[in-house]
């Protein structure tokens, strides 16, 4: 048996907070150690969920683009959104997922801006769908202390 990465990080954070910080004489440096410990706790959470958040987001954005790219009148811009919708995650490395996520979010920004300027219920439905996704994404990426 060996410690999992997130549990090791949490233990390291507890060591920094409970054992090392109290021994640091400079109050400024002591606060810095505490902040590093908090950052370590955040990294532990991020490590555990990173792949899950990104694969979910990438799939959800592709689905939004696939469903609503047709609202975009300009054929060049529409084609770019359709290409993004058809993309795939090449592997599950976080760096790969992040690169794909950035490309997809740029496409989502373009779609979102476009549909805001379109009249009619289809555009309003699409806008609602985008915001519902964005809210869920923000919730999944939220950072809580403690």
Partner 1 sequence: MESISERLARYLAHRMPEASDLEISGLTRIHGGASRETYRCTARWQEHGLDYERGLVLRRDPVGSLIETERSVEYAAYATFQDSEVPVPELWFLEEDERWLERPFFVMTEAPGQAANPFASEPYGSQAEAIGEQFWRILGKISSTTVTGTPIAAQVDAPGRENAWRRELDHWENVIDADELVPQPIVRAAIRWLRRNPPPPPERLAIVHGDYRTGNFLFDEQGRVTAILDWEMCHLGDPLEDLGWALDPLWAGTTPERPGQLLDRTRGIATWEGASGLTVDQDALRWGEIFAHVKGSAIWISGSREYASGTNHDPVLLISGWLCTARHAEIIAERFVHLLEERP
Is 36:17 a contact under the CB 8 Å cutoff? no
Tell me the C-alpha to C-alpha distance, in Å, between residue 99 and each of 41, 60, 94: 25, 16, 8
Q: Rg (Cα) of the chain, in Å, rounded?
A: 21
Residue ranges in 78-107 that form contacts with partner 1 under rule CB under 8 A: 98, 101-102, 105-106
CB nearer to partner 1: give 3 or 32. Answer: 32
Nearest to partner 1 of 1, 138 (CB atom): 138
Stretch that binds partner 1, among 1-9, 47-55, 74-82, 124-132 (CB under 8 A): 124-132
- Using CB under 8 A, which of 4, 7, 11, 132 touches partner 1? 132
**What are the two backbone dihedrals, phi and then psi, of residue 80, each rounded to the nearest 5 degrees?**
-65, -40
How many residues belong to the site for partner 1 (CB under 8 A)? 36
Question: Tokens 């379109």 correspond to what residue?
Answer: 118
Q: Which of 4, 11, 32, 96 binds partner 1 (CB under 8 A)?
A: 32
**Among the listed residues 47, 63, 61, 35, the one whose alpha carbon sits nearest the alpha carbon of residue 9:** 47
Among 22, 23, 27, 121, binds partner 1 (CB under 8 A): 27
What is the SS3 assignment for 26?
coil
Q: Which residues contact partner 1 by CB under 8 A?
A: 26-28, 31-32, 35-36, 38-39, 42, 46, 98, 101-102, 105-106, 108-109, 112-113, 116, 124, 127-128, 130-132, 134-135, 137-139, 141-143, 145
């Amino acid at each position: 048996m060996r410690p999992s990465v997130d549990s090791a990080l949490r233990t390291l954070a507890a060591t920094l907070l409970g054992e090392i910080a109290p021994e640091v004489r400079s109050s400024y440096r002591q606060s810095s150690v505490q902040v590093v410990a908090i950052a370590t706790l955040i990294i532990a959470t991020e490590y555990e969920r990173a792949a899950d958040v990104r694969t979910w987001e990438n799939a959800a954005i592709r689905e939004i683009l696939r469903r609503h790219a047709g609202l975009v009148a300009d054929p060049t811009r529409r084609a770019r959104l359709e290409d993004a919708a058809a993309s795939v995650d090449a592997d599950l490395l976080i760096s790969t997922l992040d690169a794909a996520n950035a490309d997809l979010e740029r496409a989502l920004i373009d779609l979102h801006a476009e549909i805001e300027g379109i009249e009619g219920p289809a555009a309003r439905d699409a806008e609602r769908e985008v915001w519902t996704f964005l809210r869920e994404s923000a919730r999944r990426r939220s950072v809580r202390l403690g």
